[in-house]
A = this chain, B = another copy of it.
Amino acid sequence: MTTVSHTFSGNGVVNTATQARVRAAAAELGYHPDVVASGLRRSRLGVVGLVLRPAVGAHPEHVGDVDYFPRFAGAAALTCLEHGYALMLVADPTVPGGSVTAYACDGLVITDPVADDPLVASLRASRTPYTLVGADVNDPDDPRVVDIATPMITDRVLEHLAEAGATRVALVTGYDPIEWNTATEQRYRERMREAGAPELVVHAVELDGGEAGAQAADELLALPVRPDGVYCQTSDHARGLVDRFLERGVRVPDDIRVICGSDAERLRNTEPSITSVDLLPEPLGRQAAAALLRQLEPGLDLSVPVPDHGRIVARRSTARPGV
């Protein structure tokens, strides 16, 4: 048994000829080592977990912006596979009654952790390696965070709107307490204050985003100073918002320019098409996986490109009027 174990794990010293005999016998018998038993014994399964926050287990229909998630996961998976790890997409184990599979992973990548994330607390307590994509807003100094550059992206968006001719810009953001929401709002308010402009912020619930976006449109149109530019973070909201504007006879982009914070299919082939930020999830996914693998195996040679953040895809909804 020792010999077989050693030849497959590469741990002990085994005569090459013996190794060959072992492998030949294994092939003949269809034997291969049991990863689960080995994982139990060594407390190491060769699996990286990915949990998507917030709310994937709870509301599977709402995976943030649906175009973002598969691109992120795909890139992370390839990075893992290249280094002998599998990537497992797991449900949040802290939701009551939920699957606890996540705890089987050697480490976890968590996208968009919520404030005081209970899962992060639990991982810390059990000393499980983890990497966050976007910071816990109540713990901005955790070093195990992949930067998503929210303030810089906010700046770029506001500049783009200004160049498109907007002078009074509103923000439509969500309620989930994740960096993407809170840091965007914070930066937006800073910039408005610096410019002496009014801070026009509307919050929209994440669930049923189309309807929530329409309501946000109504709220914006009811403001004493009507905005002529809107930064709307999620694509569900942006879609509902623009449709409601049009219903009510408000022209996009002529009366109000709209930019969405996360690119998605539903922004492309519509009238008008909606400008958005491509968050470039692939390099982020590679980055996050690499950061975790480095914790799992400090010796690993992992060079991944440092991502650029937030490329703006200009579409009709921010074209200069008359263009």
Q: Is the CB of A77 within 8 A of B73?
A: yes
Residue in B34, B57, B70, B101 whose CB lies within 8 Å of A47: B101
Q: A82: which B residues are within 8 A, CB to CB?
A: 60
- Among A85-93, A219-227, A250-258, the stretch that binds chain B is A85-93
CB-CB contacts below 8 Å: A65-104 with B: 66, 69-71, 73-75, 77-78, 80-82, 84-91, 93, 99-104
Q: Known: A89-B77, A126-B30. Contact between A101 and B70, CB under 8 A?
A: no
Residue A195 CB within 8 A of the other chain? no
**Nearest-Cβ distance from residue A34 to partner chain B, whole angstroms:** 8
Give the copy number. 2
Q: Is the CB of B89 within 8 A of A46?
A: no
- Among A35-43, A229-237, A295-303, the stretch that binds chain B is A35-43
CA distance A70 to B85 in the complex (A): 17
CA distance A39 to B45 in the complex (A): 12
**Nearest-Cβ distance from residue A76 to partner chain B, whole angstroms:** 9
Binding site for B on A (CB under 8 A): 30, 32-37, 39-40, 45-47, 49, 56-57, 60, 63, 66, 69-71, 73-75, 77-78, 80-82, 84-91, 93, 99-104, 122, 125-126
Q: Apart from A33-B100, A46-B99, A77-B89, what 19 extra A-B contacts exist at CB < 8 Å?
A: A32-B100, A34-B40, A34-B104, A36-B40, A45-B104, A47-B88, A49-B86, A60-B81, A60-B82, A70-B70, A74-B74, A81-B91, A84-B91, A86-B89, A86-B99, A86-B101, A87-B89, A88-B88, A89-B89
